[in-house]
Structure 1
Amino acid sequence: MASDTVSEKSDLPPVGWRGKWTVRYRILAVNIFTLVLFAAAILFLDAYRNQLRDERIAHLSAQARAAAATLPAIDAEDRAALLAAQAGSDGPRLRLYASDGARVADSWSVGPATYDLRDPETQGIAKQVARAIDRGFNAITGEDPFAPFVEPETDNRTSWQEVVDAAGTGRSVTQTRDAPDGTPVFSAATPVPGEDLVLLATINDRSYTRAVRRQRGNLAIALGVALVLSIYFSSLLSKTIVRPLRHLAIAAHRVRLGRSPEINVPRLPDRRDEIGTLARAVSDMSHTLRRRVDETEAFAADVAHELKNPLASLRSAVDSLERIDDPGLKKQLLDVVRQDVVRLDRLITEISEAARTDAELARTQFEPVDMGKLVGQLVSAWEDRRETGNARIAYARPKSGTVMVEGDGSRLARAIDNLLDNAISFSPANGLVEVTTQRVGDKVRVQVQDEGPGVPEAMRETIFNRFHSLRPQGEDFGRHSGLGLAIASAIVEGHDGTIDVAPRQGAGSGACFTILLPALKGR
């Protein structure tokens, strides 16, 4: 596999939003950002409006009490003029009601009208839109609409509920109503000290509405800026997700087509979120896939090469049988045919075993395996049922349960059996094959030592390759396929273990094969 497939560098330019935030939190942050600002703006504007309304009502109530406090010192005929003077040109309308309900004074009767109720039908589209926004805002905040303000046809004390309440309680009473154009009409009724009179102050406070709408406009600008920022962050987030995914999809498509041996799958090493994890997983998967493909191609080529030799020998022997009449020579050729058939059968069996090993290990459910007991059974089988020649096998069985691993017992047995077969085949006459199994830290170590010629240092890695065969002198040609150690290596690696070969420990020549497997946890 090309080196750039697993490169730690990315060919993608930096997006600008990096850090340790996962994609999930980034999406939540972008979605919540605008909502939080919108909610905060609504809450602020609602609080601002309520506070401003309370201030305006409190100010009107104070004006009414101040005006009522001056009335007892003024003659009845001069009270209307005094109220008009106190109201001014843009103040509230001040009216005075007697105990019999009649209106006895009115600031507008001697002075100019300080406000006028405007007809919404005569106003432009801008005012209509503003009123629609007002209604929408009230609906969002859940504020109930106020009662409409209507001047009574007969203006007396009973026409105003706040006047009736103020006369009955002796305290100031306020009220808020809506003018026809949606602006508020504030009113405050207060008793006149020492007299059975009630003063009513009313004002159509358009400045209150303008202040609220102005503040709402400022918040709308702020929300507009927030929306732009949200769009920017959304675009940035889209780039952090979509662009890497697009590159990964293109790389995966190229891997699927297999048209190039060098496919750059970006690993995005700077990304610590789900996209970075996905990129590195896809890169590793691509590397593993390419390695598997290369291994499969090499294995197929090796199989073809290994099958050609016995097939060529077999074809030559069969062709020669037709032209030879000598019975002795024919017998020799038939022996060659038999040996080649046996060799082919053994080779095909070993090839099938090697091809199935990885796939079957991936599907196998591992179970606790006592390596001491397993190795002991294999040694006994070699001594009782197999040809060991003049070799001797020595095995010191460890205490039961001390060398437990998790794995597939039958596959592990095959790996150890291949090592025993290799050691016995290389052992000289009366040679000793020593087998040990012991716990070393968090590992279980299995060693097989022989007294053969050993393995040259230059070949200590290649002997685990498929079809690599370094056979002892005198062994029948084709007795071994060169797959035994390769199968053992694949089985051990499938159990997350390691296998290696070194010179025999102690005096004399020989090889020492060592398998290290993870010990079963808790044992």
Structure 2
Amino acid sequence: MASDINSERNSEEDLVLAWSGRWTLAHRILAVNVLTLALVGLAFLYLDSYRNRLEKERVQKVAAQAEMAATALSTVAPDRHDELLARLSKQNKTRIRIYGSDGSLKLDSWQLVGPTYRLRDPAMQRWNKDVARALDRGFNAIVGEKNDEDFVEPAVDRANAWEEVAAAMRTGAIQTEIRLAPELTPVFSAAAPVGDGTTLLVTDNDRSFTRTVRKQRRSLLVALAVVTGLSVLLSLFLARTIVQPLRRIAFAAHRVRLGRAREVRVPRLPSRRDEIGLLARSVSDMSQSLRHRIDNIEAFAADVTHELKNPLASLRSAVDSLDRIDDPALKRQLIDVIRQDVLRLDRLIGDIGEAARTDAELARARFEPVDLGELIGNLVSSWETRRETGNVRIAFARPRRASAIVMGEPGRLARAIDNLIDNAISFSPPSGLVEIAATHVGDEIRIRIDDEGPGVPPESREAIFNRFHSVRPGAENFGRHSGLGLAIARAIVEGHDGEIDVADRDDAPSGARFTISLKAADRA
């Protein structure tokens, strides 16, 4: 498996189908199958049509022979009927019988010249004839052809033993019939009135008809065998175009499972517009997303380690120094340092847990309509009730009820906005004002949070959203902020397919403006 997985044959050229266009796999598989079935169906239709046309020609031939014989008999003297009948029978390889008006047999050409055709016994023929007859029956069953009745010479040869003769006597018109000899060759017969009250019957066991139809069938079977071979080759080619890229994608997925995400290169197949191309791009995007997530996790773990070391080192130093210092004032200072480090660690651990849970919780969350006006109003009331703003004032321009609704997870959205309010308060000067507004603009809901602090330099506007990035005011209480608040806010907003950015205020001498843009919920 390892040699296959690490194979250098990683080119996408052998996986690309330049001819496929926008044909999906279902279309291609269906086309191959339908093509074969259509050709088989057309072959059966053609052979059935050919046989019916040939059968019609042979019936017309026998009818013409019967009409010609009846006409000839009506123009010659009765004493010459035997001679004429014998000549016509021998010439056309047929048997000609004449029945009187009373239905009795008057003349029979075989009594004059002997048999002109012979009905063969199937039991005396070779096995290949049995196969040919089985194919005949199978073909008739497929096309729905009704089998003709068997040809049997009557025990008493009279006119009423032949349906076509009786019909010709009644109607005075030529009547035809097709029957099958024991070996399934057709016997064509035609009855025609002579004009002197007698009726003529011509029968012909036309074996050439069966040979012609079977020869045509053999040709079609050869053609179908060629078509089937081509269909098999096309199917194998189609299977190759499916199996090869799937195998490559499976190897890539296997390497991801082994934890080698950075080494995986999944072919994207941009030129393929079928399901294989869609799967390749999806797996490629998935592996890149997984690689990005692994990188983030590793970076996050490194950042956590670094951030925890500072308060732990300060805490260890303060604890070690307590045993060596007797001055009560210095001990109180050290205890205060320990208390601040513990607070910082507690805040840091809480925010680290919050940051680690954010992506997972958003992936499992079921979004629901959230009225941002009501949600922000509750947050502002909570800040004012807790009196954690110092002497910083908060002004919220509450939007009209139900005019700022988005689809989201209320708790997560509240945490993101709360972090931005906390950030604005911490950077506001004494007696400063934090202004909050939520407006419906186009198909978006925009939340604006303005402070009166120093603002954010352009070169730092992206960095402030990184984890553990924190540049606090000099008077900021140590340990109050972990540097994760803005990172958590961005993760939550992006998890709601929104955007967050920061700029300078354009309506005040100084201050930062944070803006959250979220897609507005569809109104019912």
The normalised TM-score by structure 2 is 0.92
User: How far apart, CA to CA, are the structure 2 residues paired with 1:160 and 1:425?
Assistant: 116
User: How far apart, CA to CA, are the structure 1 residues paired with 2:386 and 2:480?
Assistant: 18
Q: Counterpart amino acid of 1:221?
A: V
Q: Which residue of 2 aligns with 1:468?
A: 469
User: How far apart, CA to CA, are the structure 2 residues paired with 1:414 and 1:154?
Assistant: 109
User: How far apart, CA to CA, are the structure 1 residues paired with 2:396 and 2:523?
Assistant: 26
Please give the root-mean-square deviation of Cα atoms over the aligned residues, in Å: 2.1
Q: Which residue of 1 aligns with 2:381?
A: 380
Q: Which residue of 2 aligns with 1:33?
A: 35
- Quick one: which of 55, 58, 62 aligns to 2:57? 55
Post-superposition Cα deviations, 1:313-347, rounded to whole Å, max 9, x if no partner, equal 21222222233333332222222221111111111
Deviation of 1:260 after TM superposition, in Å, equals: 5.1
Q: Which residue of 1 aligns with 2:215?
A: 214
Q: Which residue of 2 aligns with 1:518?
A: 519
Post-superposition Cα deviations, 1:438-492, rounded to whole Å, max 9, x if no partner, equal 1211111111122222212111111111111111112233221000001111111
Q: Which residue of 2 aligns with 1:65?
A: 67
User: How far apart, CA to CA, are the structure 1 residues paired with 2:403 and 2:30?
Assistant: 52
Q: Which residue of 2 aligns with 1:302?
A: 303
CA contact (8 A) 2:16 2:271 kept: no
Q: Which residue of 2 aligns with 1:87?
A: 89
- 1:81-120 equivalences in 2 (<5 Å): 81-111=83-113, 113-120=115-122
Post-superposition Cα deviations, 1:348-403, rounded to whole Å, max 9, x if no partner, equal 11111111111112222222222223223322332332322332323322222222
- 1:78-477 equivalences in 2 (<5 Å): 78-111=80-113, 113-193=115-195, 195-259=196-260, 261-477=262-478
Post-superposition Cα deviations, 1:180-229, rounded to whole Å, max 9, x if no partner, equal 32211111112211x22111101110111122112212222332232123
- 1:1-20 equivalences in 2 (<5 Å): 10-15=12-17, 17-20=19-22
CA contact (8 A) 2:395 2:433 kept: yes
User: How far apart, CA to CA, are the structure 1 residues paired with 2:315 and 2:94?
Assistant: 123
Deviation of 1:497 after TM superposition, in Å, equals: 0.7
Larger relative contact order (CA 8 Å, sep ≥ 6): 1
Q: Match of 1:89, SS?
A: helix
Post-superposition Cα deviations, 1:425-450, rounded to whole Å, max 9, x if no partner, equal 11122322222221211111111122
Deviation of 1:236 after TM superposition, in Å, equals: 2.5
The normalised TM-score by structure 1 is 0.93
Post-superposition Cα deviations, 1:410-436, rounded to whole Å, max 9, x if no partner, equal 221211111111111111223222222
The runs of 5 or more residues in structure 1 that have no matched partner are: 1-8
- Please say which of residues 354-363 and 324-333 is displaced more in the overlay: 324-333
CA contact (8 A) 2:444 2:519 kept: yes
Q: Match of 1:207, SS?
A: helix
Deviation of 1:10 after TM superposition, in Å, equals: 3.9
CA contact (8 A) 2:415 2:489 kept: yes
CA distance 1:387–1:152, shift in 2 (3 Å): closer
CA contact (8 A) 1:10 1:269 kept: no
User: How far apart, CA to CA, are the structure 1 residues paired with 2:14 and 2:283?
Assistant: 16
CA distance 1:11–1:59, shift in 2 (3 Å): closer
CA contact (8 A) 1:445 1:514 kept: yes
Deviation of 1:144 after TM superposition, in Å, equals: 3.4
The runs of 5 or more residues in structure 2 that have no matched partner are: 1-10
User: How far apart, CA to CA, are the structure 2 residues paired with 1:366 and 1:126?
Assistant: 75
Q: Match of 1:151, SS?
A: coil
User: How far apart, CA to CA, are the structure 2 residues paired with 1:401 and 1:103?
Assistant: 106
CA distance 1:322–1:226, shift in 2 (3 Å): same
